[in-house]
Amino acid sequence: MSARIGVVVFPGTNCEHDTVLAFERVGAAASLVWHTDERLDGFDALVLPGGFAHGDYLRPGAIARFSPVMGAVARFAAGGGPVLGICNGFQVLTEAGLLPGALVKNRGLRFVCAPARVRVDSDRSVLTARIEPGTELQIPVNHYSGSYVCDARTLAELRDAGRVVLRYVENPNGSVDDIAGITSPEGNVVGLMPHPERASDALVGSADGLPLLRAMVAAAAAVRAA
C-alpha cells in the first residue's frame, strides 16, 4: 500500500493541489488536511505547501503557526515523522520554531518567480536521502520573502551538522550562505524555498524535483513499515 501524505491547507494556501498531484506522480497517496484538524492519524508524512497562509499578513507564517493543526504537526515531528515545508510551508515551520532562523524579504525587494539551480549539499534528511551531494537540480523559486537569515551560532551548527540540505548555485534572494533548504537535527523536518512540485513534469519545464519527492515518499514508506 502506498505511503500516505497529508498536505496541510491554511486559508490562503494555494499550492496544495499541485503538491498532491506531484506526490501522486511518484506513487504516494496524498490528501488535504484542513488547518483546524487536530488529529493526523494515518499519515506517514506531512507537507506544508506553498501559498500565502492568512494572506502573509503580519509576516509569512506568523498567524498560521497558531492554527490548531500546528500542535499536531509539532507532535508528529517530535515523534520522528517526516515533515516538509515548501516555500510558505518553510516560513510557517520557522515561525513555529520547528526549524531555526527566519525568512525575510528578498534582497531586491521584488517578488521572484524563476527557475533556480540548486545543489544538494547533504543527504542527511528525508528530502535528500540517497541523493549524491553535489547533484545540481533545476527547481523554480516563487517568493517575496525567501531570504534565509539566522544568527552566527545557528549557521555554524547547521553547517557543521550537515543540516544545510540545498544551496543556490546563483543566489536569487540574498539568503545567508546561499541557503535554499535546511533540516532539523534528526533530518526528519525539512524546509526549502524552491518548489519541487513545480519540477515534477518536463512538460512544464523540469522534472528535477522528482528525486526529492521520491526520497520523501521513501521516508514516509519507512514510517509506514515501522
By annotation, the residues acting in catalysis are: 87, 195, 197
DSSP E strand stretches across the chain: 4-9, 29-34, 45-48, 83-86, 102-104, 112-120, 136-143, 147-149, 164-168, 179-183, 189-192
Min dist CB 16 to other proteins, Å, is 9
Q: Which of 39, 57, 68, 71 binds other proteins (CB under 8 A)?
A: 57
Q: How many helices (H) and strands (E) does the chain have?
A: 5, 11
Query: Which residue among 89, 196, 200, 220 contacts other proteins (CB under 8 A)?
Result: 200
Q: Is 17 in the site for other proteins (CB under 8 A)?
A: yes
Rounded Cα distance, 135 and 141, in Å: 18
Contact between 105 and other proteins by CB under 8 A: the answer reads: yes
- Interface with other proteins includes 54 (CB under 8 A)? yes
CB of 136 to other proteins, least distance (A): 16
Cα–Cα distance measured from residue 125 to residue 123, given in angstroms and rounded to the nearest whole number: 6
Q: Is 35 in the site for other proteins (CB under 8 A)?
A: no
**Among the residues of the chain, which ranges form H helices?**
16-25, 69-78, 88-95, 152-160, 210-225
205 dihedral zone (left: phi>0; alpha: psi -120 to 50; beta) = left
CB-count exposure of residue 159 (10 Å: 0-12, 13-18, 19+)? middle
Least distance in angstroms from the C-beta of 81 to other proteins: 24
Q: Which residue has the cell 546563483?
A: 170
The answer to whether 156 contacts other proteins (rule: CB under 8 A) is no
Distance, in Å, from the CA atom of 213 to the CA atom of 223, rounded to the nearest integer, reads 15
Determine how many CB atoms are found less than 10 A away from the CB of residue 109.
Answer: 8
Among the residue ranges 72-80, 120-128, 159-167, 193-201, the one whose residues contact other proteins (CB under 8 A): 193-201
Tell the smallest beta-carbon distance from residue 54 to other proteins (Å).
Answer: 7
Q: Which of 102, 161 has the CB closer to other proteins? A: 102
Q: Which is nearer to other proteins, 17 or 119 (CB)?
A: 17
106 versus 128: smaller Cβ distance to other proteins: 106
What is the distance between the alpha carbons of residues 121 and 134, in angstroms, rounded to a whole number? 6
Under the binding rule (CB under 8 A), the answer on residue 150 touching other proteins is yes
Q: Which residues bind other proteins (CB under 8 A)?
A: 11-12, 14-15, 17-18, 21-22, 25-26, 34, 51-52, 54-59, 62-63, 66, 94-95, 100-102, 104-114, 140, 142, 144, 147, 149-150, 174, 195, 197-198, 200-205, 207, 210
